[in-house]
Amino acid sequence: MISRKSKGISDATLFYIHSGIFAFSEIIFLISLPILFWQQGFSLSFIFAFYAFAALPGYFFTLPLIQYGLKIHLKKILIFGIFFYIALAIISPLIQINNGWWIIAFLLLSLQALCYFPARYIYFSEIASKKTIGFQTGIVNAVMMVARTLAPIIAGFIAFFTQFNWVFLFGALFMLLSIIPIFFIRIKIRHSCQTEVFHAMRKEHPVFKNTQATYIAAGMSGTLSYLLWPLLFFLLLNQSGYFGLTSLMTVTYGISAIIMLIVGHFFDRQHRKMLLKGSVMFNILATLGRFALLFFHPLLFVYGIQSLYSFTESALQSTFEGYLFSYSKITNTVFFTIHREMNNALGRFFAGAILALASFVFTDIKILWFFFLVNIPVVLIYLRKGKIDYYLKK
């Protein structure tokens, strides 16, 4: 059951505003925190293990946390997640290899992901309209992409002219601002969430069974894209420091935002399976190009491959999330989101653990570059989402 009111700014618009401000801050943490660990002397094996085990609580505790959140008001859980991120930003400059602040950072990162993302996806699943869900997903992703165009460049300037640690405080400020639109969202989530019913649906419903592997794959792909790629680019290819990394990561985001809107529009016009297949195939080509950077990386080629990867990833993400919210609409919003988050967390753990083990065994970090090829079979698993597309036509 959902309670709605129609006065003032729509819940969808408020959600777009929040998403943009949040993404502005989040991309700084995604890029900067692993580099901070490296600069403080932590090994690559430690960094990958840190992120692997930080993801694992999502598999075990998402269900009980959401059950609790539905009792006390899910918006509180969402806001708690943001405050955990702010706390992480504040304590990050204190992290050193010879103190225990990394343990606090580990707890905060785990709690942030556990609280924020499940609540976020549930809210948007309820806010979005079933008829235009692809386009609305495209808007959210496009707004976030534009925000990610600006934030790292500004953070790069801050790191260049002041100290690297200041980028975290800069990010914390905007993370705090992202809370404001949430207070004005009027929709109230009043679903029940019984453990036995959830597990029964997870085992028996075809949509749940056919998407489990895809969300594990999505977690693995996210680790490769947002942890392995920027870290190895910074260590192996980049010759101009943090600013060079941030400029590379943002040069194509503006065009990517447009791609997300177009893909979302065609998703609603029932071109879903075509979009999924096309974006997966082009993403595989871009992955092969990214792998080639290990052997051949003049500046123009690096930016060209990053552009291709950003464009294909934009189409893939918009299509993949369009399916996420569509399937949640036709099943159970809360159950499907928990299902997604549990498997996504499992995928992030698997990828992080494999990378941690590999970086421990192999002393030459160039070996890790070969793990970009793992993304090829991973994104092929995404095609399973299209096998149950017929459910959306009922």
With residue 123 as reference, give the H or E element that holds it: helix 101-127
High-pLDDT (> 70) share of the chain, %: 94
Given a cut of 90, whether residue 218 has pLDDT beyond it is yes
Work out the mean pLDDT of the chain and round it to a whole number: 89
For residues 118-138, give the mean pLDDT. 93
DSSP letter assigned to residue 379: H
> Which pLDDT value is given to residue 394?
65
Query: Nearest CA to 215 among 337, 311, 40, 60?
Result: 337
Low-confidence winner among 30-39, 68-77, 135-144, 300-309 (lowest mean pLDDT): 300-309
Query: Nearest CA to 287 among 308, 302, 301, 271?
Result: 308
The pLDDT confidence band at residue 385, using thresholds 50, 70 and 90, is: confident
The pLDDT confidence band at residue 4, using thresholds 50, 70 and 90, is: very low
Non-local (6+) Cβ contacts of 70 within 8 A are 189, 190, 191, 192, 193, 334
> Which pLDDT value is given to residue 5?
46
Q: Give the predicted TM-score (pTM) of the model.
A: 0.91
pLDDT: which is higher, 133 or 241: 133
The pLDDT confidence band at residue 9, using thresholds 50, 70 and 90, is: confident
Superfamily of domain 9-182+195-393: MFS general substrate transporter like domains (1.20.1250.20)
High-pLDDT (> 90) share of the chain, %: 64
For residues 366-388, give the mean pLDDT. 92
The pLDDT confidence band at residue 118, using thresholds 50, 70 and 90, is: very high
Low-confidence winner among 47-56, 170-179, 236-245 (lowest mean pLDDT): 236-245
Determine the Cα–Cα distance for residues 392 and 270; give it in Å rounded to an integer.
9
Given a cut of 60, whether residue 240 has pLDDT beyond it is no
Helix, strand and coil in the chain, % to nearest 5: 85, 0, 15
> Which pLDDT value is given to residue 6?
47
> Which pLDDT value is given to residue 1?
44
The tens digit of pLDDT for each residue in 22-48 reads 998 988 888 889 989 998 999 999 999
For residues 89-108, give the mean pLDDT. 94
> Which pLDDT value is given to residue 2?
47
Contact between 168 and 12 (Cβ < 8 Å): no
Helix, strand counts (H, E) of the chain: 17, 2
Contact between 117 and 218 (Cβ < 8 Å): no
The tens digit of pLDDT for each residue in 76-95 reads 999 999 999 999 999 999 99
The pLDDT confidence band at residue 7, using thresholds 50, 70 and 90, is: low
For residues 264-275, give the mean pLDDT. 89
Low-confidence winner among 186-195, 238-247, 275-284 (lowest mean pLDDT): 238-247
> Which pLDDT value is given to residue 306?
80
> Which pLDDT value is given to residue 357?
97
DSSP letters for 312-360 = HHHHHHHHHHHHHHHHHHHS-HHHHHHHHHHHHHHHHHHHHHHHHHHHH
Non-local (6+) Cβ contacts of 245 within 8 A are 31, 35, 152, 156, 230, 233, 234, 238
Q: What is the CA radius of gyration of the chain?
A: 20
Sign of the alpha-carbon dihedral angle for 354, 359, 361, 362: positive
Which of 39-48, 231-240, 291-300, 379-388 ranks highest by mean pLDDT?
A: 39-48
Given a cut of 80, whether residue 124 has pLDDT beyond it is yes
pLDDT: which is higher, 165 or 246: 165
For residues 291-308, give the mean pLDDT. 82
Given a cut of 60, whether residue 324 has pLDDT beyond it is yes
Given a cut of 90, whether residue 115 has pLDDT beyond it is yes
Cβ neighbours, 10 Å, residue 295: 7
For residues 166-183, give the mean pLDDT. 92
